[in-house]
Amino acid sequence: MDLIENIQLVRKDGTQVSSSQVFSKQLIGFYFGAGWCPPCKMFTSLLADAYNEIKRDGHEFEIIYVSSDQNAQKFQNFFRDSHADWLAIPFKHEAIKALRQRFRIAGVPVLVITRTDGTVITDLGRADIQSKGCRAYDHWISQSQ
């Protein structure tokens, strides 16, 4: 996907991961959220549980956090303390604005599920996780074919 091509994503421990590693996954979830947002805090916990189960089952899935946090410290605190071991676009990276525009993000939390080429499978990933938990992955896979 061109908007995240050739950037260094980060893990919550601060290690950097080339975005090219994400392209080997079957599905990518773009999670738009912020620590100041109470619904984001609640959803992040559900998403982390589902993500961990999906990964434990051996599925090729990755989540990339796209922050709307107010400053770098708040981003770091929310990402480190509340998120699973997925990836994030560095705070204030220009790709954040481009992704918000591409996926028409008006508010948070939003979970957009895509193929690795950027084709949107659903922009209702939040509702899927809330209603199906880790079984949402199977639903997304069936929609992606």
Read off the CATH number of the domain in which 38 is found: 3.40.30.10
pTM: 0.97
SS3 state of residue 18:
strand
Four-residue CA torsion sign, 32, 112, 53, 14: negative
Number of structural domains, the chain?
A: 1
Mean pLDDT to the nearest integer, 85-107: 96
What is the domain extent for residue 107?
2-144
What proportion of the chain, given as a percentage, has pLDDT over 70?
100
- Cβ-contact 29, 128 below 8 angstroms: no
Q: What is the DSSP string of 20-61?
A: GGGGGSSEEEEEEE-TT-HHHHHHHHHHHHHHHHHHHTT--E
- Cβ-contact 83, 66 below 8 angstroms: no
Task: pLDDT band for 23, please (50, 70, 90 cuts).
Answer: confident
Asked if residue 144 has pLDDT above 90, the reply is no
